[in-house]
């Protein structure tokens, strides 16, 4: 994979950077988690220090090809200015007159942020020619391209894939670190190799589970997806989240894990409540005895300890998906226990982006205590699944 080093002297060159600034905002459009912006800083600082003229592109939300003020990157430009300690002006458009004017005005070591690339419907069009047309306009703003938005490299999009074919291109520091770290979990991982999977649905992680049943030593299942596995074992799950159409698949995974000698663990106890609410009264019950009028909202303490023990004994650990509704204090203990165990583990620890990364930050853990926290939930899952990521493949010689 080509790196920034392969691009030569960048002083005075216009470097088109694709970042991932799809950050969460509150009702007042304040950024509630700036992790993805901070993750972009090493690449941006390196380019600015090299005297490049940095043109940053990114998306926010799903405006679906329409200009919608609520999806403007204005809050990102403000936060990026604070973190970099330099003014980061925001162009009023992506490839229009204001973008060209602001790019043309750049001096060496200066930076501009283009407006949301998804305001242009060609950005993520399924029609190759439409994306390629937009990519040519991006290329008109650039001498070289640096891909640094790991959260989008699993997509064929104009600012991720197509532009990389038109100008000299390379992976930024973030993308290189992501691939290097995730490769440690897919290419001859140190063993025992443990994967913790949570989140709401089995269907979201079918390919990952299928792939890991031939690679991991242990699979620890939590979150809403656990209840489909409990159904597959013949247990009732009350009003818990469930995917009836995936029960047979879960049963097959349980069978295959046993045949392959993989320890596939599902919760032995569960924190239940009568409704999905922060103030709902909680009770711990055996996972085989969930009341008909209750729903599971977290793994129980016995399960949390068993999972923590498995993590402590592992050399490589990957975690993707919370163990429960961590946003509610009463149902955050399971997710907190996993995060704590990973922070304390001596093995190589990877937090697979998305809600897991948000949980680490929101629950107050020190990010530096983890070997790697991914910025791309979907991209990291597809990498673990063994899929080819278009935005990475296009950077390979």
List the chain pLDDT tens, one digit each, 397 residues: 999 999 999 999 999 999 999 999 999 999 998 989 999 999 999 999 999 999 999 999 999 999 999 999 999 999 999 999 999 999 999 999 999 999 999 999 999 999 999 999 999 999 999 999 999 999 999 999 999 999 999 999 999 999 999 999 999 999 999 999 999 998 889 999 999 999 888 888 888 899 999 999 999 999 999 999 999 999 999 999 999 999 999 999 999 999 999 999 999 999 999 999 999 999 999 999 999 999 999 999 999 999 999 999 999 999 999 999 999 999 999 999 999 999 999 999 999 878 899 899 889 999 999 999 999 888 988 898 889 999 999 999 7
Nearest to 36 by CA among 376, 343, 322, 384: 376
State yes or no: 18 annotated in a binding site: no
State yes or no: 372 annotated in a binding site: no
Q: What is the dihedral of CA 160, 166, 169, 174, to 10 degrees?
A: -10
Q: Which long-range contacts (CB under 8 A, 24 or more apart) does 254-259 make?
A: 254/229, 256/213, 257/213, 257/219
pLDDT at 381: 87
pLDDT at 207: 87
State yes or no: 59 annotated in a binding site: yes
State yes or no: 29 annotated in a binding site: no
Q: Measured between alpha carbons, how far is 315 from 332 in angstroms, rounded to an integer? A: 26
State yes or no: 150 annotated in a binding site: no
Residue 345 tokens read as 């583990």
State yes or no: 22 annotated in a binding site: yes
Q: Measured between alpha carbons, how far is 286 from 267 in angstroms, rounded to an integer? A: 9
- Per-residue 3-state assignment (H helix, E strand, C coil) for 221-265: ECCCCHHHHHHHCCCCCCCCCCCHHHHHHHHHHHHHHHHHCCEEE
| Model confidence, pTM | 0.89
Domains of the chain: residue spans and CATH: 4-173 (3.40.50.1260), 182-385 (3.40.50.1260)
CB 178 within 8 A of CB 158: no
Q: Measured between alpha carbons, how far is 195 from 215 in angstroms, rounded to an integer? A: 10
Q: Measured between alpha carbons, how far is 22 from 76 in angstroms, rounded to an integer? A: 9
pLDDT at 204: 84
Catalytic residues, by residue number, are 36, 201, 354, 378
State yes or no: 20 annotated in a binding site: yes
pLDDT at 8: 97
pLDDT at 354: 80
State yes or no: 62 annotated in a binding site: yes
CB 44 within 8 A of CB 17: yes
State yes or no: 353 annotated in a binding site: yes
State yes or no: 214 annotated in a binding site: no
State yes or no: 151 annotated in a binding site: no
State yes or no: 126 annotated in a binding site: no
């Amino acid at each position: 994979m080509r790196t920034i080093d392969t691009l030569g002297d960048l002083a005075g060159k216009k470097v088109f950077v694709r970042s991932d600034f799809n950050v969460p905002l509150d009702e007042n459009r304040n950024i509630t988690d700036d992790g993805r912006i901070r993750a972009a800083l090493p690449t941006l600082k390196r380019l600015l220090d090299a005297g490049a003229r940095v043109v940053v592109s990114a998306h926010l939300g799903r405006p679906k090809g329409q200009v919608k003020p609520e999806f403007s990157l204005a809050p990102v430009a403000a936060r990026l200015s604070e973190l970099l300690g330099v003014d980061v002006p925001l162009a009023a458009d992506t490839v229009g007159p204001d973008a060209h004017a602001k790019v043309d005005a750049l001096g060496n070591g200066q930076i501009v942020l283009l407006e949301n690339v998804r305001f242009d419907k060609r950005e993520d069009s399924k029609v190759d020619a439409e994306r390629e047309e937009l990519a040519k306009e991006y290329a008109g703003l650039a001498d070289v391209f640096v891909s640094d938005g790991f959260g989008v490299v699993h997509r064929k999009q104009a600012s991720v894939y197509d532009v990389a074919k038109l100008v000299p291109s390379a992976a930024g520091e973030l993308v290189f670190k992501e691939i290097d770290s995730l490769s440690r979990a897919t290419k001859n991982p140190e063993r025992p190799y443990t994967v913790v999977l949570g989140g709401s649905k089995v269907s979201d992680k079918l390919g990952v589970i299928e792939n890991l049943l031939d690679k991991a030593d242990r699979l620890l299942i939590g979150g809403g997806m656990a209840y489909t596995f409990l159904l597959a074992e013949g247990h009732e799950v009350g009003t818990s989240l469930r995917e009836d159409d995936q029960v047979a698949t879960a049963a097959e995974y349980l069978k295959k894990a046993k045949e392959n000698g993989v320890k596939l663990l599902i919760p032995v106890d569960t924190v239940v409540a009568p409704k999905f609410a922060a103030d709902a009264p909680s009770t711990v019950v055996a996972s085989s005895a969930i009341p008909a009028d209750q729903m599971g909202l977290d793994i129980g303490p016995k399960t949390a300890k068993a999972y923590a023990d498995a993590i402590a004994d592992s050399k490589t650990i990957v975690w993707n998906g919370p163990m429960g509704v961590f946003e509610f204090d009463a149902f955050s203990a399971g997710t907190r226990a996993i995060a704590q165990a990973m922070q304390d583990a001596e093995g190589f620890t990877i937090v697979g982006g998305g809600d897991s990364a948000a949980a680490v930050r929101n629950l107050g853990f020190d990010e530096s205590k983890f070997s790697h926290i991914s910025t791309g939930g979907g991209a990291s899952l597809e990498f673990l699944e063994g899929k080819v990521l278009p935005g990475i493949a296009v950077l390979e010689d």
